[in-house]
Amino acid sequence: MTASNFADIGACLFDAYGTLFDVHSAVAQEAGALGDKADPVSQLWRRKQLEYTWLRSLMHAHADFYQITADSLDHALAAHGLDDRELRERLLELYLTLDAYPEVPQTLDRIRAKGIGTAILSNGEPRMLTAATDSANLRERLDDVISVEPVGVYKPDPRVYELGVERMGVAAERIAFVSANAWDACGAAYFGFQVIWLNRFGASPEQLPGTPKAVATTLDEIADLLGC
């Protein structure tokens, strides 16, 4: 897949959690307190976080992403027999300032230098996204940070992707969308974005409607695909 396959791109939207930000970095900083439960807790926390977004969307029982993040952490800690209020609060605070993957700043700079608009389109609520982008010094590298909160539903509902079209003022077929979450990549492709699935960890493709146009393993490859 070459840059010619992504001609006439006017904007590039990025998922945040798992794509720009390492969702396991919060637990990594508390590995000493969690011991051999660190990885299982982190994995379950992330899995339940995603499940709760989908389930609440189906139930029409929206809660913002911070509440979902707290609820899913509570489930993960309880499932591993951990009852430590101070640890819980530290983990939630750390989640606000997750580590960005090291190639993120340079990738955004390269894309913007090409004249392509950059933005985050995320399940995160505005306070979380502001904290994360500020902590990672990304805010000046983004034209917009778009939360699902105005529509009160989570990805892969098409209303979320439509927010990206409205906020960027660019037609869907001229928007490149990047996500490390295969299900999100499928949802965005089904909606009509030009999707690059950032398959960081060699996952198997999802058997869902919507096929990404390209697959990359690092964000550096995204800039290459866009001809930056």
d(CA 133, CA 145): 9
* Bridging pattern class, strands 11-14 and 144-147: unpaired
Residue 147 near residue 122 (C-beta atoms within 8 A)? yes
In the set 15, 99, 157, 184, the catalytic residue is 15
201 to 15, 130, 212: CA distances (angstroms): 16, 27, 16
DSSP secondary structure letters along 170-216: --GGGEEEEES-HHHHHHHHHHT-EEEEE-TT-PPPP-SS---SEEE
Residue 99 annotated as catalytic = no
Residue 205 near residue 182 (C-beta atoms within 8 A)? yes
Beta-carbon contacts of residue 222 (< 8 Å; ≥ 6 apart): 12, 107, 111, 176, 178, 196, 198, 216
d(CA 178, CA 193): 10
48 to 68, 76, 90, 205: CA distances (angstroms): 9, 8, 19, 20
| Catalytic residue list | 15
